[in-house]
């Protein structure tokens, strides 16, 4: 087997092998702990201790406790060492102890002052799906995913045949762990990793009578459009003045029944994109078009697997801007790779920071190269509900008034600010000012300069 990581008991930061040139450009830290073989390898540069401890917990199943306010950056490189040696190399600058437990497991205690001070539990991401894996077959594999799923006792829940990657579901976490042990030994497998739930905020009740935003725009262009991929829920039937900006939708998560009479999140975000586009469009006309990419189908949530598929669908259809008013706490390798591909191909991803002010990273907003967006209130300060952190690089209005089926709705959150900035970015990208076409770096700089995060 070439590489196996990112599973329930084995996690790292990259999902599939990259060409040397791409790997160098990506320059991501890697950390692989193959529990079944008791072999660990790492290549880390100034990597946060918290992330290292989370990955150790996921890889081993141990309980991990750390002394509060123990901050450190880990820089080390090693390959194929035992778990005990890996702990020494990873935590050599700190005190730690591994304590056997009555149930046969272990507890890792990391501390600065005393072992009794290690009282803060290191938790696994709440959005981790315990009974699923994203499995990628080796390019030269002679085994089909159908045969593999049957052998593992798994169901094929999703397919990305162009990547030879598949979402597999198992009966429970125990069955998943058993599958991991088998996959570690299988030469037909390139990688196996976690899948995570991805959420979007609910749309609030209508507020008929509230003044709405404006997008007095006329679509122009002879087919050469700046395309925004709106990676979200389905976009419902909308009035003609809005529909003329929409391209035919792509349904990643399967066909939708179209019976919902309630305003869907994607529909609200599509109009909010147009509000932002109005801000930066020239002369009341625009060559921008919105490509709705539905990654939810009829489901209340989606997963990092389908969000990554949505990004690749956007790339395949020429998108320059990708609006992702969604997120979760799972640092999916499969999704990270799709984000990297978008960056390498010159696309700009704008993603929501989340509506809980924890300061903790939300993905995909926290991935390198993504413009993470928080929300500001009517006073120009960060909204009370809005998340912030070092990964947030822009801020937009957290309230959007949208119209649907004769009613107006007030949509509040970093979803709205993200969609608004996505529209503004597309307008800037498509503007005719300047002698040369805009680049992705220029668009990112525009967003960070025109919509800075309040201090």
Residue 297 placed within a domain? yes
* pLDDT tens digits, one per residue of 432-441: 555 556 899 9
Residue 455 lies in a domain: no
**How do residues 7-36 score in pLDDT, each as one tens digit?**
332 222 223 333 333 333 334 577 888 777
**79, 94, 121 — which closes off a domain?**
121
pLDDT value of residue 12: 27
Q: Which one of 62, 94, 121 terminates a domain?
A: 121
243 & 335 share domain: yes
Same domain, 285 and 328: yes
Distance, in Å, from the CA atom of 51 to the CA atom of 55, rounded to the nearest integer, reads 6
* CA–CA distance, 237 with 244 (Å, rounded to integer): 11
List for the chain the helix, strand, coil content (%; round to 5).
Answer: 25, 30, 45
Same domain, 189 and 235: no
- For 381, the domain range is 218-450
Judgement on whether residues 265 and 378 belong to the same structural domain of the protein? yes
Tokens of 358: 């924890």
Q: Which residue has the tokens 């329930």?
A: 8
CA 406 vs CA 70, 233, 240, 429: distances in Å: 54, 21, 14, 33
Q: Contact at 8 Å (CB) between 52 and 74?
A: yes
Q: Coil, strand or helix: which one is 293?
A: strand
165: nearest Cα among 330, 6, 317: 6
| 405 and 353 in a common domain | yes
Pairing of strands 73-81, 106-111: unpaired
pTM of the predicted model as reported, rounded to 2 decimal places: 0.85
pLDDT attached to residue 26: 37
Q: How many domains does the chain have?
A: 3
CA–CA distance, 382 with 374 (Å, rounded to integer): 7
Write out residues in the chain with pLDDT < 50, as ranges: 1-27
- Of 121, 144, 160, the residue at which a domain comes to its end is 121
Q: Measure the CA–CA gap between 376 and 455, rounded to whole angstroms.
A: 11
- CATH number for the domain spanning 401: value is 3.40.50.200
> Quick check: is 74 in a domain?
yes
Q: Distance between CA 321 and CA 342 in Å, rounded? A: 10
Residues 6+ apart with CB under 8 A from 447: 350, 371, 393, 394, 421, 424, 425
């Amino acid at each position: 087997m070439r590489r196996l990581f990112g599973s329930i008991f084995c996690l790292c930061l990259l999902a599939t092998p990259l060409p040397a040139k791409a790997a160098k450009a990506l320059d991501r830290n890697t950390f692989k702990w193959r529990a079944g073989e008791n072999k660990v390898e790492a290549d880390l540069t100034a990597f946060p201790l918290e992330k290292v401890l989370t990955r150790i917990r996921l890889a081993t199943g141990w309980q991990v406790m750390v002394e509060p306010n123990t901050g450190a950056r880990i820089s080390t490189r090693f390959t194929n060492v035992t778990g005990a040696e890996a702990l020494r190399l990873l935590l050599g600058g700190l005190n730690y102890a591994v304590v056997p437990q009555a149930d046969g497991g272990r507890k890792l205690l990391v501390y600065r002052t005393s072992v009794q001070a290690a009282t803060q539990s290191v938790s696994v991401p709440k959005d981790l799906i315990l009974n699923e894996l994203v499995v990628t077959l080796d390019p030269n594999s002679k085994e089909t995913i159908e045969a593999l799923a049957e052998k593992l006792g798994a169901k094929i829940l999703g397919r990305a045949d162009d990547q030879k990657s598949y979402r597999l579901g198992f009966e429970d976490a125990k069955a998943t762990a058993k599958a991991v042990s088998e996959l570690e030994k299988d030469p037909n497998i390139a990688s196996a990793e976690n899948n995570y739930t991805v959420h979007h905020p609910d749309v609030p009740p209508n507020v008929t009578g509230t003044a709405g935003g404006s997008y007095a725009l006329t679509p122009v262009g002879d087919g050469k459009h700046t395309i925004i991929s709106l990676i979200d829920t389905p976009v419902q039937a909308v009035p003609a003045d809005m529909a003329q900006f929409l391209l035919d939708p792509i349904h990643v998560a399967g066909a939708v029944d179209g019976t919902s009479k309630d305003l869907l999140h994607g529909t609200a975000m599509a109009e909010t994109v147009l509000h932002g586009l109005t801000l930066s469009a020239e002369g009341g006309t625009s060559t921008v078009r919105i490509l709705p990419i539905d990654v939810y189908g009829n489901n209340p949530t989606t997963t990092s697997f389908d969000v990554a598929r949505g990004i690749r669908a956007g790339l395949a259809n020429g998108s320059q801007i990708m609006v992702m008013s969604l997120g979760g706490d799972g640092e999916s390798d499969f999704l990270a790779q799709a984000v990297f591909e978008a960056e390498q191909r010159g696309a700009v991803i704008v993603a929501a920071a989340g509506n809980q002010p924890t300061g903790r990273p939300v993905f995909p907003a926290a991935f390198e190269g993504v413009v993470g967006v928080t929300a500001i209130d009517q006073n120009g300060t960060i909204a009370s509900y809005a998340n912030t952190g070092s990964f947030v690089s822009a801020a937009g209005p957290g309230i959007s008034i949208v119209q649907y089926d004769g009613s107006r709705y007030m949509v509040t959150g970093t979803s709205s600010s993200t969609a608004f900035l996505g529209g503004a970015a597309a307008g800037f990208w498509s503007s005719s000012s300047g002698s040369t076409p805009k680049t992705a770096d220029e668009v990112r700089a525009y967003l960070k300069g025109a919509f800075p995060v309040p201090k």
